[in-house]
Amino acid sequence: MMLSATNSTLIEVENLKVEFPTKDGTFLALSDINLEIKKGEFVCLLGPSGCGKSTLLFSIGKQLKPTGGSITFNKEKLDHVSSLHEKMCVVFQEHALFPWLTVEKNIQFPLEVKGMSKTKIKEISEYYMDMVGLFAFRDRKPNQLSGGMKQRVGIARALSMETEVILMDEPFGALDAQTRGMLQEELIDIWEREKRTILFVTHGIDEAVFLADKIVVMSANPGKIKDIIDVDLGRMRDTTSTEFVQYEREIKGLLHTEILKTKQLESSVR
Amino acid sequence: MKSPSSTLSNSSDVNIKDIKLKNFIPIKLLKSVGIFLGSATVLLIVWQLAALIYQNETLLPGPLVVAQTFQGMLMNGTLIDHTFASLGRILLAWTLAAVVAIPIGVVLGTVPWLERMMRPFIEMIRPISPLAWIPLAILWFGIGLSGKVFIIFIASFFPILLNTISGVQNVNSILVRAAKSFGCSPIQMTLKVVIPAALPTITTGLRISFGSAWMAIIAAEMVASQSGLGYMIINGMEILRSDIVITGMVITGILGFIFDSVFRYTEKRMV
């Protein structure tokens, strides 16, 4: 049902500015951020550490308060959107599973908070446990799972909330390359089936080119959007194809000047 | 769907040849039990030698005499009666302390300004030995059950309170953020996230407080009681029976060790 509405704007960020108080004044984490995210889009926020990509993600998720500018969801100001947790969910960098609950209970947690009926909770959690291939592990505790499995539980838990938007903060950052590659493919698979809107923070260029419809390349000091690149490749992308490599090269070039700039800044401070 | 469980959770199809005998005998446990028995034997020998040299059974009875007294008191039921008298008081007062201290600890751990306000008072009352409360306890409550319950309550309250506060304050913030993103209300947050996450630390507090309660009850019973292990010890002194005094001390030590082990085991299972 969301397919028909694919091209309409879902989230709009205008002139966003985020400052953090520090010992000596304020730190400008983000400035002049303008971004439009369409329904069903897979958007990657890419940049070096300290460019404010997670800050942008959590501003959109309303987990932190911007200093200026505006964010709208479905043309409505974020402050006025009621029960945002029914529209957006978060997958955290460190899985954030409750260690005292089993896989199944972890996935059911948000549904119980919502006050859903027992049978409905069971039905939904079983569907998503099956989807991420963890049905056989439903009675395990998180410390009995591998890193990749924990992250899959985190994803299943987010999916089970059946929100329109999924915010993902470097979810595969701590995983080894093989597991990461596998989960990337699974994520695309799920996203194509479920047609959710995904906002995905990463510092991996290859990860962004593999996953995204749209890559928001960011620069640091202060955090700004350097460029927005539409990735015109089909799905199930071949990471060794010339087009894929070309995208990687282009973004590497954009980020390279960034890295040089940071280096200069650091040496001038010294 | 491919199920990887067959390789991971099913140990029944392990080749029988791979199972060596040493996997079934807890060598580590045997080792530590062996070491314990060894050092206990040395201690008993030293004690027996000292008793033989000192030659005064009234003041320093040897381990054999104490073992006889122990057996006798166990058989005629007095040891068990005194033990249960002490245990009953402890369980009542310690449970009461937990019921009061845990909710207060959760509130203080959650509300920083309240904790800052109360902290000096807690830190000032805490170092006062529970034994210093005995005179007031007798004046206020008399020498009945309530006076002793009051002493044990004081002894158990602070370890539980302080551990609950720090357990609540140190809940992994990412769990709180995750729960918030699920739309948890403050009450749901406390009941479903904060308390379960703090439970291992709270259990440590319960263990420590049981230990200090166990120490305090003996002292309290020495001053004002007609039963209990503390009474048994002080009574042994009054009738010049050091063997009874030592029997009381030994049973106190053994039971204290057993309770502590049970708590530690529970703690380990929780983490």
Nearest to A158 by CA among A171, A141, A143, A145: A171
CB spacing of B9 vs A136 below 8 angstroms: yes
Mean pLDDT across A47-66: 84
Distance between CA atoms of residues B248 and B74, nearest Å: 11
A94-143 pLDDT, tens digit each: 889 999 999 999 999 999 998 889 999 999 999 888 888 888 898 999 98
Q: Does residue B1 have a pLDDT over 70? A: no
Q: Does residue A4 have a pLDDT over 90? A: no
Cβ neighbours of A161 in B, within 8 Å: 182
Distance between CA atoms of residues B184 and B196, nearest Å: 15
Query: Quick one: residue A134, left, alpha or beta (phi over 0 = left, psi -120 to 50 = alpha)?
Result: alpha
Closest CA in chain A for residue B183: A85
More confident residue, B23 or A81: A81
* Residue B30, pLDDT score: 86
**Contact indicator for B252, B81 with CB cutoff of 8 Å:** no
Distance between CA atoms of residues A154 and A148, nearest Å: 10
ipTM of the complex: 0.81
Cβ neighbours of A155 in B, within 8 Å: none
Cβ neighbours of B5 in A, within 8 Å: 136-137
CB spacing of A136 vs B182 below 8 angstroms: no
Tell whether omega for the bond before A48 is within 30 degrees of 0, i.e. cis. Answer: no
Distance between CA atoms of residues A255 and A203, nearest Å: 10
Distance between CA atoms of residues A169 and A94, nearest Å: 9
Instruction: For residue B181, give the nearest of A85, A135, A137 by CB distance.
Output: A85
Give the pLDDT band (50/70/90) at residue B17: low
Angle between helices B145-169 and B134-141 (to 10 degrees): 120
Mean pLDDT across A15-32: 84
B197-214 pLDDT, tens digit each: 999 999 999 999 999 999
Mean pLDDT across A184-194: 86
Distance between CA atoms of residues B125 and A204, nearest Å: 55
Q: Does residue A261 have a pLDDT over 80? A: no
Work out the percent of chain A whose per-residue pLDDT is above 90: 16
Mean pLDDT across A177-190: 86
Work out the percent of chain B whose per-residue pLDDT is above 90: 65
Q: Does residue A40 have a pLDDT over 80? A: yes
**Contact indicator for A226, A56 with CB cutoff of 8 Å:** no
Q: Does residue B88 have a pLDDT over 60? A: yes
* Residue A107, pLDDT score: 93
Strand bridging mode A25-38 / A9-22: antiparallel
Instruction: For residue A136, give the nearest of B3, B180, B197 by CB distance.
Output: B3
Strand bridging mode A9-22 / A165-169: unpaired
Cβ neighbours of B190 in A, within 8 Å: none
Instruction: For residue A113, give the nearest of B183, B197, B199 by CB distance.
Output: B183
* Residue B2, pLDDT score: 42
Nearest to A263 by CA among A55, A78, A50: A50
More confident residue, B63 or A229: B63
Most distant CA pair in chain B, distance = 80
Chain centroid offset of residue A186 CA? 15
For residue B23, what are its two tokens?
A: 């996997």
A129-177 pLDDT, tens digit each: 888 888 889 899 998 888 888 988 998 898 888 888 999 998 888 788 8
Distance between CA atoms of residues A26 and A13, nearest Å: 22
* Residue B5, pLDDT score: 42
More confident residue, A114 or B167: B167
* Residue B11, pLDDT score: 43
Q: Does residue B247 have a pLDDT over 90? A: yes
CB spacing of B1 vs A135 below 8 angstroms: yes
| Three-state SS at B200 | helix
Q: Does residue A257 have a pLDDT over 80? A: no
More confident residue, A23 or A3: A23
Q: Does residue B157 have a pLDDT over 70? A: yes
Distance between CA atoms of residues A51 and A221, nearest Å: 7
More confident residue, A102 or A48: A102
Most confident of A168-182, A226-240, B32-46: B32-46
Nearest to A13 by CA among A36, A47, A39, A45: A36
Q: Does residue B138 have a pLDDT over 60? A: yes
Weakest mean pLDDT among A48-57, B148-157, B161-170:
A48-57
More confident residue, A261 or A67: A67
Distance from CA of A101 to the nearest CA of B (A): 10
The residues on A that touch B, with CB distances below 8 Å, are: 61, 63, 83, 85-86, 88-90, 92, 94, 96, 98-100, 109-110, 112-114, 130, 133, 135-137, 161
Average pLDDT, chain B: 87
* Residue B115, pLDDT score: 94
Distance between CA atoms of residues B73 and B88, nearest Å: 19
Closest CA in chain A for residue B199: A100
* Residue B79, pLDDT score: 92
- Dihedral sign of CA atoms A143, A145, A148, A150 in order: negative
Distance from CA of A256 to the nearest CA of B (A): 32
* Residue B13, pLDDT score: 46
More confident residue, B14 or B248: B248
* Residue B18, pLDDT score: 53
Q: What angle do CA A224, A226, A229 make, to 5 degrees?
A: 130
How many Cβ contacts (< 8 angstroms) between chains A and B? Answer: 59
Give one DSSP letter per residue of B183-197, joined into a string: T--HHHIIIIIIHHH
CB spacing of A63 vs B181 below 8 angstroms: yes
Residues constituting chain A: 270
**Contact indicator for A58, A64 with CB cutoff of 8 Å:** yes
| Three-state SS at A163 | coil
Q: What pTM value is reported for the model?
A: 0.79
Name the residue with tokens 């049905």.
A135
